[in-house]
Amino acid sequence: MQAAPSITASLLLAFRNGETWAFNEIFTVYDARLMAYAAKICATRQDAEEVVQDVFISLWENRLGIEGPDISGWLIKVCRNKALKSLRRHVFQADISTLPDLAATQQNPLEQLYFDEIEEYIRQVIQTLPPARKKIFLMNREQHLSYQQIADELGISVFTVKKQISLAIQHLRATVTPYACSLALIMLPPMLN
C-alpha cells in the first residue's frame, strides 16, 4: 500500500495533535483499502469490518507513537495482525465436528486433501489427550451432551467438566494452530469468491 497523495505532512501533524477532521481525512483515504485487505484474510465481511474499525480505533489511540511521514505501513501491519487474530478466533470457535461436512462439500481435490489432512490431525491430537479429558471432550463434541449431562453421567462436578473441556480446547488450539491457520488461509480466498 503506497502513501496516498492526499496524506500530507501537515495533515499528519494535525492528526497527531488530536484534530478529528484530520482523522476523518485519513479514514476516508484508507477505509476502503483496509477493508479490501482485511476481507482477503477474515472469514466473513462482518469480521473484516470489525477489524478495520479496530484498526482505526488503534490509530487514534496510538497517534502520538506513530512516527514517520507515512502511516500506511503501520495501518497495514495492524490490519494484518488484527485480521489474522480474527481468523484464528473464527477457526477455533468452529465446531470441530463440522469439518467433515465442510470437506464433503469441496469440489477441488486439493481443497479436499487439506480438509482431510486437518481432520485427521485433529483426530490424532484428540487421541493424545488424557483418557478422562478425552472422554469428557468427546461426550460434549460428538454426543452433544451438556456440561450438566456429562457431570451427571460421570458422577463429577460441572466445574470439573468445564475445566477438562477448557484444557482440551487449549491443547487443541496450541497443537493445531499451524495446521488450522494454514488451511484457513489457503481455503478462505476461494470460499469468499
Looking at the domain assignment, is residue 85 inside a domain?
Answer: yes
- Supply the range of the domain harboring residue 179: 96-192
Specify whether 79 is located in the same domain as 101.
no
Nearest to residue 46, comparing CAs of 84, 86, 12, 8? Answer: 86
Burial 160-171 (b: 16+ CB within 10 A, else e): ebeebbeebeeb
CATH of the domain at 89: 1.10.1740.10
Say what the pLDDT of residue 45 is: 87
Residue 175: predicted pLDDT: 81
User: The C-alpha cell of 51 is what?
Assistant: 477489524
The label of the residue with cell 511521514 reads 69
CB count, 10 Å around CB of 119?
16
Let me know if 83 is exposed, middle or buried by CB neighbors in 10 A (0-12, 13-18, 19+).
Answer: buried
What does the pLDDT look like over 41-76, one tens digit per residue? 887 888 889 999 999 999 999 888 888 778 888 898
- Is the domain of 66 the same as that of 130? no
Assess whether 68 and 114 both reside in one domain.
Answer: no
Q: Are residues 78 and 108 in the same domain?
A: no
Residue stretches of the chain with pLDDT short of 70: 1-6, 90-115, 178-193
pTM above 0.85?
A: no
Do 134 and 168 lie in one domain? The reply is yes
- Domain boundary residue, one of 30, 61, 93: 93
Q: What is the structure's pLDDT at 102?
A: 47
From 40, 58, 93, the end of a domain falls on 93
The whole-number pLDDT of residue 155 equals 95
What is the distance between the alpha carbons of residues 91 and 110, in angstroms, rounded to a whole number?
19
Q: What is the pLDDT of residues 149-166, one digit of tens each?
A: 999 999 999 999 999 988
Based on the fold, state whether residues 69 and 146 are members of the same structural domain: no
Predicted pLDDT of residue 9: 85
**pLDDT (0 to 100) of residue 135:** 94
pLDDT of amino acid 136:
93
One domain for residues 125 and 181:
yes
CB 99 within 8 A of CB 122: yes
Q: What is the pLDDT of residue 103?
A: 46
Split into its structural domains, the chain has a count of: 2
